[in-house]
Copies of this chain bind each other. A is one copy, B any other.
Amino acid sequence: MSHNRFGHLFTITTWGESHGPALGAVVDGAPARLPISEADLQHWLDRRRPGQNRFTTQRQEPDAVKILSGVFEDPDTGAQVTTGTPIQLLIENTDQRSKDYGDIKDKYRPGHADYTYMEKYGVRDYRGGGRQSARETAARVAAGGIARKVLDGVTIRGALVQMGPHKINRDNWDWAEVENNPFWCPDKQAAAQWEDYLDGVRKAGSSCGAVIEIVASGVPVGWGAPVYGKLDADLAGAMMSINAVKGVEIGEGFGAAALTGEANADEMHADGAKASFDSNHAGGILGGISTGQDIVVRFAVKPTSSILTPRKTISRAGEETEIITKGRHDPCVGIRAVPVGEAMMACVLADHKLRHFGQRAGK
């Protein structure tokens, strides 16, 4: 067990604080001879990168990833490939502005982990949230880029399906729209409305939450395992480990509680040697094992805890006080959680793919 490690065969170990010299991830267990370059990973990091528009923090970080180990030229093709040994991904912190954070050195911000870290460890890097900063998710996104290489044939896409109280109209779902607005929103109309809504939130110095949906297509039937190594159990843990996430659901999710057994059953037809399903209430997982349908996960992100309205709190010395969190912050951190959720989906699936072939012993 390692508190900062994720996965069993395809593992990621992340390290680093928001305002230290660098952060990164060690990715271990990837198969050998997967073509991989820094540019491949940078593609995914650029999607997560803040500072791209007025709705995300104005912190300007290039978030340039370097591969320090685990790659070499393929003996046949000469291309840079994985070697089967650990891959160290390093991202330097270049825009730290530590002076912004002096105020929170001694006060605990409500909704942040300041109080719990101090009570647990007796010390914390308070600059920018330190280890609790969402900046840690950059390492996940880089690692997810390697996981996607392991998952050749699987497509993983994410979308924001609710911003604050405003849900998309699922009838309008168009994956192509996701790239056309700053919210990863698949509903063109909702995106337009959210723009006004979020401007209001931002100007009020307030914040709002969101719900993200991640879909993996092309996963064959059979990945996953009973009963604690279930694919959905690992996905739930993976998504809940993302900063600010407060809920996770698979397929029909909480809505399944209100359905009858008849309505919830995904009926099957024959499709060659496999089954085809009439519906996907299960979200692509039965008994912890993939059905061959799309795997569908949603998770809820709470509103950004850093807001301009003063909130009552206590200091490290135990005195009652108030705090306003200035600085550069996203009014809706859920937006940037979309690429992170995709990365965690990729990491879980890559791990389960290897575990599946492990238990089959090559058959």
Contacts and interface: CB of A to CB of B under 8 A. Distances in A.
Interface in A311-363: 311-314, 316, 318-320, 334, 353-363
Contact of A246 (B31, B241, B254): B254
Contacts of A131: 69, 83, 85, 226-227
A15 B360 CA distance: 20
A206 interface: yes
For this chain, the copies found in one complex come to 4
A106 to B, nearest CB: 9
A56 interface: no
Contacts of A66: 21
A229 B287 CA distance: 24
A59 interface: no
Contacts of A357: 357-358, 360-362
A9 B359 contact: yes
A122 to B, nearest CB: 5
Nearest to A292: B119
Contacts of A70: 15, 17
15 contacts: A3-B29, A4-B229, A16-B88, A20-B69, A21-B66, A21-B68, A22-B68, A22-B88, A32-B121, A83-B131, A232-B246, A246-B252, A257-B300, A264-B305, A270-B319
